[in-house]
Structure 1
Amino acid sequence: MKTRAITGFFFVIVMLGSFFAGAAVFSVFYGILAVLCLQEFYGLIKQSGSSPNTATGLINGVYTYAAFAALFHWDVYPEAQTIHKLVFLLVPAMMAIFIQELYRNTNKPFENIAYTFLGIILTVLPFTFFHALGFVTNSGFSAHIPMGFLLMLWANDTGAYLVGRQFGRTKLFERHSPKKTWEGFIGGIIISAVAGYVLSIYFKELVWRQWVSVAILISIVGTLGDLVESMFKRSINVKDSGGLLPGHGGLLDRFDGLFMAAPIVFAYLYFIFN
């Protein structure tokens, strides 16, 4: 428990610190996290007996994140107005995954291709959407919304754990996560919504109703992401996704709620600001 608390403390400090260091550091930091999550995913898949194209997948993951992240830095580097054309190079980059498999002597080439793409979709794309939350207001970089996203996500996880442990009786989805309960799920939503309301007092980009709406979205969709990650780990018979964070497992375990919630929240906020 002590190791878990110390790891969690420094992890939160580093994550929150990334928001105050400026747009460039924010972009690079979450790009690194995205690639580490992708690498962790490929490592788990290899344990299950499959053989994804790790090197090509990681290169595509880096390029996918960087190409979309660069679009938000036009105001910082006005001379890079044609940088959006980098996105179109994703097509030949992705095709390299298929071409590489032609030269590999494996029994299940399309399974390897599928897992290579799945890793990018499951880890890199969500971080791309999370990164975009920092620019969704159309007024330059603002750390408030992505920071608020993580704070509400953590509030939901903490609330679900505490309420579920104290009052949990009815299983939520026992087949994939035996410890989750409906009571914990509802408790997580309520505590996350309270956190959203508190955030609205200090972060004025959204009114309180919108912050609370985002909190509810994070709680519902984030829980689904948690269940999907649990389903994935059970399918390959592992308990923790990795050991990078002592006492907390791997990065996939820490960001499972983000993977599905970030794209949904971005879509919601995009329509609000546009």
Structure 2
Amino acid sequence: MKTRAITGFVFVIVMLASLLLGPYVFTGFYIFLSLVCVIEFFTLVKTTGIRPHRSIGYVAALIIFASVAGKQFFVYETKWLLINIPLFFGIFIRELFKKSTLPFSNIAYTFLGLIYAVVPFIFFFSLVFISGSYNVHLALGFFLMLWGNDTGAYLFGVKFGKTRLFERHSPKKSWEGFIGGIFTSLVVGFILSIYFTDYALQHWLIMALIISCFGTLGDLVESMFKRSIDIKDSGTILPGHGGFLDRFDGLLLSAPVIFVYLYLITY
């Protein structure tokens, strides 16, 4: 418990520092996070006998993220994304030369790694710049509402949890905890609307609701993935917390939806 608390404290400090030290540190940090997460994903998949094309996947992840990030700092179009086209064809070509009994599984999990572990971080990065400049309020607010949801779900679940949410995938999660997480996230959203006036109260509350629902869904999906390959944690890099996929499972599905919502009300 002590190790978990220390790791959690250091994790929060690092996350806050990445936001407050400016857009360049923020960008580099999230490129790093996306790479670590896709490495974890490919490593886990490999234990099942499937062999995703990791080297191509890592290069593609860097190019995709760097192309999107570069548009925020330099005046050029995201045409560098086109480099991924021959890379993606390369995945199919390499598979032709491999003696694998599951060629399309290897190909599919390569693409899934990029979609599941890299693209969500790109959406999170993009929503911070959605107004045209670096908006630390959005990034900080996102995590505060996400952490509020996790904390509320845990506390309400421990105190009142009786009805299981998806016992087959996550035995400890309950409907009572889910509702408690929504309530706590909404409270955090209300407080944020007082201090961060970038968006009106109703938008902060809608974002809180989205984060609670899709953050919980992301947690359940990651639990389903881990159970399908019979592991407890996605990694051991964070003592007491598992891997980076374990820590960011709530972001993976909620960040794209938040970006879409903010895009719709901004443009």
Quickly name the TM-score band, shorter chain normalised. over 0.9
The residue number in structure 1 matching 2:172 is 179
8 Å contact from structure 1 (residues 137, 205) kept in 2:
no
Structure 1 residue 94: Cα displacement = 1.9
Kept in 1, the 8 Å contact 2:214–2:254? The answer is yes
In the TM superposition, residue 162 of structure 1 has moved relative to its aligned partner by 0.7
Q: SS where residue 164 of structure 1 aligns?
A: helix
Corresponding residue number in structure 2 for 1:132: 126
- Is the deviation greater in 92-101 or in 163-172? 92-101
Matching of residue 29 in structure 1 with residue 61 in structure 2: no
Equivalenced residue count is 267
Contact 1:126 1:258 in 2 (8 A): yes
Match of 1:123 among 95, 117, 120: 117
Q: How far apart are 1:133 and its partner, in Å? A: 1.4
Structure 2 residue matching 1:206: 3-state secondary structure? coil
- Whether the 8 Å contact between 1:177 and 1:227 is mirrored in structure 2 is yes
| 1:5-44 equivalent positions in 2, closer than 5 A | 5-44=5-44
Task: Tell me the amino acid that sits aligned with residue 142 of structure 1.
Answer: N
Superposed CA offset, 1:49-73 (max 9, x none): 2111111111111111111121222
Q: 1:114 maps to what in 2?
A: 108
* Residue in structure 1 matching 2:161, options 162, 168, 171: 168
- Percent identity, aligned pairs only, is 54
Instruction: Name the aligned partner's letter for residue 168 of structure 1.
Output: G
Q: Secondary structure at the match of 2:232?
A: coil
Deviation for aligned residue 1:24: 1.1
Alpha-carbon separation, structure 1, partners of 2:242 and 2:76? 41
Residue 110 of structure 1, CA deviation:
0.9
Structure 1 residue aligned with 2:215: 222
Distance in 2, Cα, partners of 1:108 & 1:221: 32
CA deviation map 1:105-132 (0-9, x unaligned): 2221111011111010001000000001
RMSD of Structure 2 on Structure 1 (CA): 1.0
- Mapped partners of 1:273, 1:238: distance in 2: 41
How far off its partner does 1:163 sit? 0.4
CA contact (8 A) 1:27 1:69 kept: yes
Query: Which amino acid in 2 is paired with 1:113?
Result: I
TM norm structure 2? 0.97
Q: How does 1:249-260 map to 2 (within 5 A)?
A: 249-260=242-253
CA contact (8 A) 2:63 2:80 kept: no
Pairing 1:255-270 to 2, within 5 Å after superposition:
255-270=248-263
Does residue 99 in structure 1 map to residue 93 in structure 2?
Answer: yes
Structure-2 residue corresponding to 1:208: 201
Counterpart code for 1:176: H
Task: After TM superposition, give the deviation of residue 135 of structure 1 in Å.
Answer: 0.5
Give the TM-score normalised by the residue count of structure 1: 0.95
**Partner of 1:238: helix, strand, or coil?**
coil
Aligned twin of 1:63: 63
Shift of 1:31: 0.8
Contact kept? 1:152, 1:192, Cα under 8 Å: yes
Distance 2:248 2:44 in 1: 16
- 2:183 maps to what in 1? 190
Deviations 1:244-266 (A, max 9, x none): 10000111110111110000000
Unaligned stretches of 5+ in structure 2?
none
> Which one of the candidate residues 148, 152, 156 is aligned to 2:145?
152
Cα deviation, residue 103, structure 1: 2.2
Between 160-169 and 47-56, the greater mean CA deviation after superposition: 47-56
Is the Cα–Cα contact under 8 Å of residues 151 and 181 in structure 2 kept in the other structure?
yes
Report whether the alignment pairs 1:271 with 2:264: yes
Residue 3 of structure 1 is matched in structure 2 by 3
TM-aligned CA deviation for residue 212 of structure 1:
1.0
Unpaired segments ≥5 residues, structure 1 = 75-80
